[in-house]
């Protein structure tokens, strides 16, 4: 099969490699659509040394959809069949550690032990290829009303829903979303689906315009202090919840400052540099800052929300390329050419 093979930071090419074969309770799938994620771009650049990937050569990619073409031992007995349309997600956790038993498999205590936990496209071979193998815990049935492209966007949509869940969004809450990238725009939809009374998106440029087009209130941080703008918009009280989808030093500081007393910030953006914060506000006003990692069961819940249009993944799909044009695709994504948000590869 053809696959994107990374051999060193910023060194990759589309090559012919052996087809993978499914093992016990695994399925081999033909990849019909896969999106480029911000994590993919960082991984290609070598921003997570000795972690993602643990070694080279490596096939990245984890936001995909396709169809089952071969069953591993035991998969049929658990209800899977050749021809099933599926969407993939990255974590294939052990299932028996305390965190997995509690339903927080994204925090599996056996992460890194490849015998029992693999994170596809991160520390195990991924889906920028014509075929991919996944454990049955990491594939979800794709409804007939959703296309393969929409299926590939379910994983980021589930992360956005997990972010809103970690933020504790309640009906009527005021919510600020920092960073109108793909996850931020989906998080704004997720907050609305959970009953948020108003959603304010903080950002700049074309992506902020997209948030406005999708119905959010917007604050442009390039034309003034975003904290002051959010506080003015909320009668100086601040917002109940901040969903930080930017993950940079400024966004963390803004997030804490624009929270209402007793408010909660959920941070899903992964900083690549150190961030310093003042904890006075956090302590004196009982604000909360929680991290968000991937998804913890939200795939099942996000599928019907996407199917009925409450989380609008199609609004994010801007470009499509074949696998052979991956260099152009990643450049389009990184440089945000022509308003690029989600760039789809169709192997």
pLDDT in tens, 189-214: 999 999 999 999 999 999 999 999 99
Phi (first) and psi of residue 73, to 5 degrees? -55, 130
pLDDT of residue 242: 98
pLDDT of residue 269: 86
Q: Considering the chain, what percentage of its residues have pLDDT values greater than 70? A: 100
Q: What is the mean pLDDT of residues 45-56?
A: 94
> Residue 163 contacts by C-beta under 8 Å, 6 or more apart in sequence?
183, 187, 190, 243, 245, 266, 268, 292
User: What is the rounded end-to-end Cα distance, in angstroms, of the chain?
Assistant: 10
Pairing of strands 118-119, 91-92: antiparallel
pLDDT of residue 274: 85
Burial class (CB in 10 A: 0-12, 13-18, 19+), 195: exposed
> Residue 216 contacts by C-beta under 8 Å, 6 or more apart in sequence?
177, 188, 199, 200, 201
pLDDT tops 80 at residue 253: yes
User: Which of 268, 266, 267, 259 is closest to 286 using CA atoms?
Assistant: 259
User: Which of 41, 314, 319 is closest to 185 using CA atoms?
Assistant: 314
Distance CA 114, CA 126 (A): 14
How does the average pLDDT of the chain come out, rounded? 97
- Cβ count near 264 (within 10 Å): 22
pLDDT tier, 275 (very low <50, low <70, confident <90, very high otherwise): confident
pLDDT of residue 57: 98
Q: What is the mean pLDDT of residues 127-144?
A: 98
pLDDT of residue 33: 98
What radius of gyration do the chain's Cα atoms show? Answer: 20
pLDDT tens digits for range 319-345: 999 999 999 999 999 999 999 999 999
What separation in angstroms does the CA of 127 have from each of 23, 70, 144, 269?
A: 17, 16, 22, 22
pLDDT of residue 272: 76
Q: Which domains does the chain have, with CATH numbers?
A: 2-153+316-346 (3.90.180.10), 160-291 (3.40.50.720)
User: 3-state class of 63 per DSSP?
Assistant: strand
Give yes or no for a contact between 127 and 62, defined as CB atoms under 8 angstroms apart.
yes
Give yes or no for a contact between 172 and 322, defined as CB atoms under 8 angstroms apart.
no
User: Which of 60, 166, 62 is closest to 104 using CA atoms?
Assistant: 166
């Amino acid at each position: 099969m053809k696959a994107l093979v990374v051999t060193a930071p910023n060194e990759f090419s589309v090559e012919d490699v052996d087809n993978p074969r499914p093992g016990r309770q695994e399925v081999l799938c033909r990849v019909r659509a896969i999106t480029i994620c911000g994590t993919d771009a960082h991984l290609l650049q070598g921003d997570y040394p000795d972690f993602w990937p643990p070694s080279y050569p490596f096939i990245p990619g984890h936001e995909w959809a396709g169809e089952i073409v071969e069953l591993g031992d035991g998969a049929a007995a658990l209800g899977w069949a050749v021809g099933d349309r599926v969407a993939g997600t990255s974590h294939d956790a052990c299932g028996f550690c305390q965190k997995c038993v509690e339903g927080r498999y994204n925090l599996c205590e056996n992460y890194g032990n490849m015998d029992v936990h693999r994170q596809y496209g991160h520390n195990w071979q991924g889906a920028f290829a014509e075929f991919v193998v996944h454990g049955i815990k990491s594939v979800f049935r794709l409804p007939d009303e959703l296309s393969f492209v929409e299926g590939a966007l379910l994983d980021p949509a589930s992360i956005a829903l997990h972010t809103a869940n970690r933020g504790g969004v309640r009906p009527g809450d005021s919510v600020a979303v920092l960073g109108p990238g793909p996850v931020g725009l989906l998080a704004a939809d997720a907050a609305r689906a959970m009953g948020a009374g108003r959603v304010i998106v903080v950002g700049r440029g074309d992506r902020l315009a997209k948030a406005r087009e999708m119905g959010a209130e917007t604050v442009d941080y390039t034309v003034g202090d975003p904290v002051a703008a959010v506080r003015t918009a909320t009668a100086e009280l601040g917002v109940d919840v901040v969903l930080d989808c930017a993950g940079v030093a400024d966004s963390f500081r803004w997030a804490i400052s624009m929270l209402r007393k007793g408010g909660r910030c959920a941070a899903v953006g992964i900083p690549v540099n150190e961030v310093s914060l003042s904890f006075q506000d956090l302590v004196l006003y009982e604000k909360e800052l929680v991290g968000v990692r991937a998804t913890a069961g939200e795939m099942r819940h996000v599928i019907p929300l996407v199917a009925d249009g409450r989380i609008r993944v199609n609004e994010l799909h801007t470009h499509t390329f074949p696998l052979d044009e991956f260099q152009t695709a990643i450049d389009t994504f990184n440089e945000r050419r022509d308003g690029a948000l989600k760039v789809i590869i169709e192997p």
